[in-house]
Amino acid sequence: MKRSKSGFNLPGILATLLLLVTTLYTPTISVHAEGNEEGEVVVTQKVNSEWNGGYVAELIITNNTGDELQNWKLTVDDDLEITSIWNATAQEEGDAVIILPMDYNAKVVAGGSVNIGFVAAGEYSELAITCSYDGKDATAENGENNNSENNTGNENSGENNTGDVTPGENNEANNPEGNNSEENNTEENVPEEIVPVEVQMNEVTGIVCDGDGNAVANAQVTIDENAKQFVGENAIITALTDENGLFVLGLPAGDYRLHITCENYEQEIVSISVIDETENAAGTIVINEIKPVIRGYARDTELESKYFAGAEVIIREGWDEHDSDVIAEYKTDENGYFEAELPEGQYTIQLKVSGYGSKYFNVVSEKNSDPQLLTIRSSAHIFDGKVFSAYENKNGSHTAMKNVTVQFYSQTTGELADETVTDNDGSYQVMLKNDMYYAVFQRQNYKTLTVNDISGDLVALVSDTYQNELDPVFMEYSYPMGIVSGRVVDQYGSLLSYSKGQPGIYFNRIGVVGDEPVQAPDVNIMGILNSKYVDGTYGDGTYYYLLPVGKYQVFIGCALTGGETAVSQIVEVKENEVTVVPDIKLNRAAQLSYPYNYKANICVIDAVTGEPIENAKIGYLWNGASSRTSQSYRSDATYNYTDANGELKYQHDHPYIRMMVSADGYKDRTINVIANRNYQMVYCAMVPESEPEPDWVY
């Protein structure tokens, strides 16, 4: 795609040139000309420099027509992405790039030329360029002079004075009878010498000083490298400041960036505009002195992630000076970082952190210093622990619990000492100082658990009595729980045995609206059938799950693509009881042909009245019904709407579907849809926006 934009512009630079502009440094890589050398406009292409991803090029328009060239325009039909241009403007026009003149170079005298420079992205290749002027074209293909104002090709050649270009005179030598070469004054046929217009150089002044307002001498001020090629031989592009910080440059009109560099100072870059016939002052430019500093981070020696915010940094002059006068004090920021600006030399830092013993460090203040890591060992200790579910599975083991918030409070002061969250393995780690603590364990849907008398004491710094490895804790659900258990059998009534294609099992919590079971608006639970026994042998199609008390509809689906789906009747889970579900039959031999065609009949009803809802909007969210919820439709969702009976028959290539449901005047819902072969009904109850959530019957 072509793209053009204006970069720095040098209006007035090289207004009209007789010869090609001579630059300070132009390593020509390639040159290509379009047009005939005589009688027309020649467009020459030059590449001055090239790199991986771009190049700097010039276009030279030379007027060989014999007349003044006006209102020229270049049309580039090749792929050209201009990022900066000078002495012209560029714009897109369809698939072409149009290059137009500035006010000062719209006319080109006979025998003169115009130089255009630009920076482009990509790799250079010869461009297909057409030059138009006064509405005419001059290209290399026809080699003709298309300027209607040039009359050398006029049929009435007798009316043209080809031997005398002096205007206003009737040259008798134009008579064919007197066409004697000896009678023609060749000196009179030579055009007047065209003197190129000189580019005006403007004085640009400025002052360089430091942050305290003091003049900076011997600072170098120069323009951008890519601008140096196009400002002309007479430009003053680099200068050094004098003892007063003054510098003077000589530049054509245009926009520039000045680079100011000086030893022991940070480089500064400023933008200026130079205008002809005006006073051009860059003003006062401030550069910051690079001063010697000490930089560092305060961190715990053992716990690498623990950086100390607000740690005291006490600095004394000299090395190994623990009791001399303090010359500076700092505090670390929220990231444990500090920076001390001090004269070059050797210093002693005392690092003090609440609850930690002081530690001393020998450091050096110098320019461009790297941050130093100052670590301090605490009188605290690292404690490790684990959190499990209080309920055992059928194999008698407990499930590790992730995302449990663990807080440790001092039993002496009651203040929070540390806080963390368990990882995927139910593990956590904290650092505690010498004290006695109690720990609080919290997770949504579980009872808060408190453990007292956690010891972090040391006895005479000899015998460690702190509890490094804390006893595991077991958390209980905050609501009544029961167990659901059952079997999946094949089409012959035998226990399902398998070695691959592990079936999934889904427990959809339901409520009752009227006499119809509907999915209740809470988390739906997903699991898998037992894949292996404890001894490593393959499982037998049984399941055993701990669930909150309530009513559920159990779905079984074959993990093999295109396999059968089975649904149980509604089962009720009771507190502290094992609910045995009648066998669910799954025909593992049944296989759909591609494209798979699973079917579901979704019925959307009012949760208060039980009446069907027409035109409820239903959108597919993702394959695989799960415990995840969604607050909005997918951006690429395909929508369907329920009929007058509130029903929607839905077909999909996957049996487990998560659906988003919305209806005017109702709260949005997400539901799990387990499709099968026979359009088994799945009910979705919608709660009116004006109504609170009903008391779902579980």
Q: What is the pLDDT of residues 37-85, one digit of tens each?
A: 556 888 888 887 787 778 888 889 988 888 888 888 889 888 888 888 8
Q: Select from 463, 469, 453, 489 the least CA-distant residue to 588.
A: 489
pLDDT of residue 674: 72
Q: Do domains 202-286 and 480-698 have the same CATH topology?
A: yes
The Cα 677–Cα 649 span in angstroms is 12
**Residue 408's pLDDT is what?**
94
Q: How far is CA 8 from CA 13, 56, 309, in A?
A: 12, 14, 47
Of 462 and 220, the structure prediction assigns the larger pLDDT to 220
Characterise 106 by phi-psi region: left (phi > 0), alpha (psi -120 to 50), beta (else): alpha
The DSSP code for 123 is: -
Residue 696, pLDDT above cutoff 70: no
Domain residue spans of the chain: 30-138, 202-286, 293-376, 381-475, 480-698
Residue 217 banded pLDDT, cuts 50, 70, 90 = very high
Cβ-based neighbours of 63, under 8 Å, separated by 6 or more: 41, 69, 108, 109, 110, 111, 112, 113
The string over 329-352, giving b where at least 16 C-beta atoms fall within 10 Å of a residue's C-beta and e elsewhere, is ebebeeebebebebeeeebbbbbb
Q: How confident is the model at residue 633 (pLDDT cuts 50, 70, 90)?
A: low
**1: confidence class by pLDDT, cuts 50, 70, 90:** very low
Contact 124, 55 (CB under 8 A): yes
CA atoms within 13 A on the CB side of 495: 11
Class of the 293-376 domain?
mainly beta
* pLDDT beyond 70 at 194: no
Sign of CA dihedral 167, 173, 176, 179: negative
Q: Which of 5-19, 370-384, 472-486 has the lowest mean pLDDT?
A: 5-19
Cβ proximity of 232 and 14 under 8 Å: yes
Work out the pLDDT band at 3, boundaries 50, 70, 90: very low
**pLDDT tens per residue across span 577-623:** 988 888 888 776 777 777 777 788 888 888 778 789 999 998 876 65
Query: How confident is residue 670, by pLDDT bands cut at 50, 70 and 90?
Result: confident
Tens of pLDDT, residues 301-321: 877 888 999 999 999 999 988
Of 661 and 597, the structure prediction assigns the larger pLDDT to 661
What 3 state SS string does 559-578 have? CCCCECEEEEEEEEECCCCE
Mean pLDDT check: name the lowest of 58-67, 195-204, 631-640.
631-640
Q: pLDDT by residue (tens digit) across 378-421? A: 666 788 999 998 877 666 788 899 999 999 998 888 999 999 99
Least confident of 128-142, 188-202, 492-506: 188-202
Q: What is d(CA 247, CA 569) in angstroms, rounded to the nearest whole number? A: 91
Rounded average pLDDT over 276-289: 88
What is the reported pLDDT for 131? Answer: 87
Q: Which residues contact 219 (CB under 8 A, 6 or more apart)?
A: 208, 240, 241, 245, 247, 260, 261, 262, 265, 287
Mean pLDDT of 71-100: 87
Q: Which of 589, 584, 539 is nearest to 564 (CA)?
A: 589
Does pLDDT of 650 surpass 70?
A: yes
Residue range 480-698 in CATH 2.60.40.1120: yes
pLDDT of residue 311: 92
Q: What's the sign of the alpha-carbon dihedral 60, 62, 68, 73?
A: negative
Q: Which residue has the tokens 């790199």?
A: 51
The pairing of beta strand 136-138 with beta strand 129-133: antiparallel
pLDDT of residue 348: 94
Q: How confident is the model at residue 566 (pLDDT cuts 50, 70, 90)?
A: confident
| DSSP per-residue letters across 505-516 | EEEEEEEEETTE
For residue 474, the model assigns a pLDDT of 95
How far apart (Å, rounded) are the C-alpha atoms in residues 356 and 359?
9
On the question of pLDDT at 135 being above 70, the answer is no
Confidence at residue 318, expressed as pLDDT on a 0 to 100 scale: 92
**3.30.230.10, 3.40.50.10140, 2.60.40.290, 3.40.50.720: CATH of 30-138:** 2.60.40.290
Q: In whole angstroms, what is the distance from residue 197 CA to residue 193 CA?
A: 13
Q: Higher-confidence residue: 665 or 683? A: 665
Tell me the C-alpha to C-alpha distance, in Å, between residue 261 and each of 153, 237, 269, 366. 60, 14, 9, 20
Mean pLDDT computed over every residue of the chain: 75
Give me the pLDDT at residue 644, please: 94
User: Tell me, what's the pLDDT at 347?
Assistant: 94
CA distance 540 to 532: 8
Q: Which CATH architecture has domain 202-286?
A: Sandwich (2.60)
Q: What pLDDT is stored for residue 529 in this prediction?
A: 56
Evaluate if residue 190 carries a pLDDT over 50: no
What's the pLDDT band for 10 if we cut at 50, 70, 90? very low
Q: Residue 218: which pLDDT band, with cuts at 50, 70 and 90?
A: very high
Q: Where are the alpha helices (DSSP H) in 93-240?
A: 186-189, 225-228
* Tokens describing residue 187: 């000196």
Q: What is the pLDDT of residue 183?
A: 43
Cα dihedral value 248, 253, 255, 256, nearest 10: -30
Regarding the domain with residue range 381-475, which homologous superfamily does it belong to in the CATH classification?
Carboxypeptidase-like, regulatory domain (2.60.40.1120)
Give the model's pLDDT for residue 405: 96
Model pTM? 0.38
**Predicted confidence band at 153 (pLDDT cuts at 50, 70, 90)?**
very low
Residues 6+ apart with CB under 8 A from 235: 201, 249, 250, 251, 252
Q: Are the beta carbons of 278 and 30 closer than 8 angstroms?
A: no
Place 174 in a pLDDT band, splitting at 50, 70 and 90. very low
Residues 224-278 pLDDT 10s: 887 887 787 788 999 999 999 999 999 988 889 999 999 889 899 999 999 988 8
Residue-level pLDDT at 540: 63
Closest CA to 574 of 551, 596, 541: 551
Mean pLDDT of 653-673: 82
As a whole-number percent, the residues of the chain with pLDDT over 70 amount to 71
- Phi first, then psi: what are they for 83, rounded to 5°? -105, -20
Q: Residue 380: what pLDDT?
A: 66
| Residue 116: partners with Cβ closer than 8 Å, 6 or more residues away | 58, 59, 60, 61, 74, 85, 86, 87, 88, 99
Q: How many CB atoms lie within 10 A of CB 402?
A: 14
| Mean pLDDT for the stretch of residues 19-46 | 50
